[in-house]
């Protein structure tokens, strides 16, 4: 039994905005005093995280003077040096300021779009300055409440124009930086453009520099849409586009909860961790979640430790699943090849097609076979509940 101790090799990261959340929600103000970026780095160092990510403005406030910005950066740099934490990812806040009330890149107002380009370029510089290699785009307010207001095709065109422009900016500056797009179906907008990982995946192929652009899927966002997150992750991985991931949890059909990883749907979290570990996903395991509003900063540390601990427990459970003789025997039986039909499958040829069309299948006999998925699922549950 391991101690489930987070190590740098696990690549566990948190955003400044996650452990730094003061618990504000639409129905109430802050319940925790804000901490500085440097203080949050020390907190993350204490719980054993590998890295810290930030938006431009949870690092440097939007109205900070150049001297204030320099002081914040200096303290932050020292905290990184003291703790050994790294900055793998950065992003732009294109949602909070009132100027973005109708979106940023897709706003109907060209001044807002130009300001968004400017803000994103400066935020990219700020990310690169601290070593970020992944730059996330989450289109929080890129959408509508009423489709009378915006043409959906125009929305896509503007989004594409922004990503193309910013790709050129990165190339022009010789930055070693790749983009990762994050989908979400709704909240804060009534509807957000490119609502799922699948939509994003298709959109990437329409860009000028598709090789520079991948994905940052988030558990909660796909659960909000009621879909199987791991299946989307598999598709992203299959496309070579799983470059970052936002881990948290979420009950479907509710507001955006950002719960501690694995705290709601353990089974979904298990299949996800098993997938990431089985394929050898090399990127950050970024927890985009926050502590309950009931907590003080000790509770925030409990939250952060809990995210990493649950991941490591599920990683151990995945190894147990892979090594379980009964499970593996069942899987071998379920997926066994059949030499009598093997010649008909695989790559098409007209010969094959002709002989396959002539083959008789005993549908009743084939369909009468029990597949033992009940047994398999119960074995999985027994592993997860610790009784196996
Ligand atoms: C959300 C999003 C954000 C983004 C973050 C980085 O639902 O609020 O998940 O937390 O991940 O803005 O782009
Ligand atoms: Mn989210
Ligand atoms: Mn996110």
User: How far is residue 100 CA from its own chain's centroid?
Assistant: 23
Alpha helices for the chain (secondary structure H): 16-19, 37-47, 56-59, 66-83, 110-129, 152-172, 197-204, 219-224, 229-238, 266-279, 297-323, 325-334, 350-358, 363-367, 373-384
Name the catalytic one among 10, 25, 58, 288.
58
* Residue 42 burial (CB count, 10 A): 14
pLDDT tens, 258-282?
999 999 999 999 999 999 999 999 9
State the pLDDT confidence band at 253, using cuts at 50, 70 and 90.
confident
The pLDDT of residue 147 is: 98
Quote the pLDDT of residue 339: 94
pLDDT in tens, 304-346: 999 999 999 999 999 999 999 999 999 999 999 999 999 999 9
Kindly give the distance from the C-alpha atom of residue 341 to the centroid of ligand 2, in angstroms, as a whole number: 46
Whether 138 is in the pocket of ligand 1, judged by its Cβ within 6 Å, is yes
pLDDT at residue number 335: 95
The model's pLDDT over 92-124, given as tens digits with 9 standing for 90+, comes to 999 999 999 999 999 999 999 999 999 999 999
Q: Which two tokens stand for residue 311?
A: 């991941």
Ligand nearest to the CA of 93: 1
Task: Give the residue extent of every domain in the chain.
Answer: 8-323, 325-385
Does ligand 1 come within 6 angstroms of the Cβ of 288?
yes
Given a cut of 80, is residue 287 above it in pLDDT?
Answer: yes
* Confidence at residue 2, expressed as pLDDT on a 0 to 100 scale: 63
In the chain, what percentage of residues exceed pLDDT 70?
99
Residue nearest (by alpha carbon) to ligand 1 atom 12: 138
Mean pLDDT of 215-223: 97
CB 34 within 8 A of CB 73: no
| Average pLDDT, integer, range 290-299 | 98
Share of the chain above pLDDT 90, in %: 99
What is the reported pLDDT for 3? 85
Confidence of residue 22 (pLDDT cuts 50, 70, 90): very high
Rounded distance from Cα 288 to ligand 2 centre (Å): 7
If you measure from the C-alpha of residue 138 to the centroid of ligand 1, how many angstroms do you get, rounded to a whole number?
Answer: 6
What distance in angstroms lies between residue 387's CA and the mean position of ligand 2's atoms? Answer: 34
Neighbours of 1 (CB within 10 A): 4
Each residue of 186-199: pLDDT tens digit?
A: 999 999 999 999 99
CATH hierarchy code of domain 8-323: 3.20.20.150
Residue partners of 109: CB distance under 8 A and separation at least 6: 102
246 lines ligand 1 (CB under 6 A): yes
The DSSP bridge partners found for residue 192 are 143
Cβ of 256 closer than 6 Å to ligand 1, yes or no, is yes
The whole-number average pLDDT for the span 19-46 is 98
Check pLDDT > 80 for residue 42.
yes
Residue 10 pLDDT > 60: yes
Our answer to whether residue 58 is catalytic in this structure is: yes
Say what the alpha-carbon torsion angle 315, 321, 322, 324 is, to the nearest 10 degrees: 140
CA distances from 165 to 128, 160, 214 (A): 17, 8, 16
Indicate whether 1 pLDDT > 60.
no
């Amino acid at each position: 039994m391991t101690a489930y101790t987070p190590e740098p090799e696990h690549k566990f990261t948190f955003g400044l905005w996650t452990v730094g959340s003061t618990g504000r929600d639409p129905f109430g103000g802050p319940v925790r005093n804000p901490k500085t970026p440097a203080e949050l780095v020390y907190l993350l160092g204490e719980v054993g995280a590998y890295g810290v990510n930030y938006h431009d403005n949870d690092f440097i406030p939007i109205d900070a003077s150049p001297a204030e910005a320099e002081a914040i950066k200096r303290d932050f740099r020292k905290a990184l040096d003291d703790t050994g934490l790294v900055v793998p990812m950065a992003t732009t806040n294109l949602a909070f300021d009132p100027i973005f009330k109708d979106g940023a890149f897709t706003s109907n107002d060209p001044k807002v779009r130009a300001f968004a380009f400017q803000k994103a370029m400066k935020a990219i510089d700020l990310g690169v300055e601290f070593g970020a290699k992944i730059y996330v785009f989450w289109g929080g307010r890129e959408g509508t409440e009423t489709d009378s207001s915006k043409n959906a095709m125009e929305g896509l065109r503007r989004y594409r124009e922004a990503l193309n422009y910013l790709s050129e900016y990165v190339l022009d500056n010789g930055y070693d930086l790749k983009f990762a797009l994050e989908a979400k179906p709704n909240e804060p907008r009534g509807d957000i453009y490119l609502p799922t990982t699948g939509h994003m995946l298709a959109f990437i192929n329409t860009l000028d520099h598709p090789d520079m652009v991948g994905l940052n899927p988030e558990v909660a966002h796909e659960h909000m849409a009621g879909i199987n997150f791991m299946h989307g992750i598999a598709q992203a991985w299959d496309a070579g586009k799983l470059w970052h991931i936002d881990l948290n949890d979420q009950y479907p059909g509710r507001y955006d909860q950002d719960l501690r990883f694995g705290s709601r749907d353990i089974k979904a979290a298990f299949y996800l961790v098993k997938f990431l570990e089985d394929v050898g996903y090399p990127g950050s395991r970024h927890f985009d979640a926050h502590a309950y509003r009931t907590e003080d900063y000790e509770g925030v540390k409990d939250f952060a430790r809990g995210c990493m601990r649950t991941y490591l427990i599920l990683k151990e459970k995945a190894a147990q699943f892979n090594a379980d003789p009964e499970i593996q025997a069942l899987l071998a039986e379920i997926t066994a090849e059949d030499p009598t039909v093997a010649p008909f499958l695989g790559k098409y040829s007209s010969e094959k097609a002709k002989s396959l069309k002539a083959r008789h299948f005993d549908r009743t006999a084939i369909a009468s076979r029990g597949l033992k998925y009940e047994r398999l699922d119960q074995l999985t549950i027994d592993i997860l509940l610790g009784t196996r």
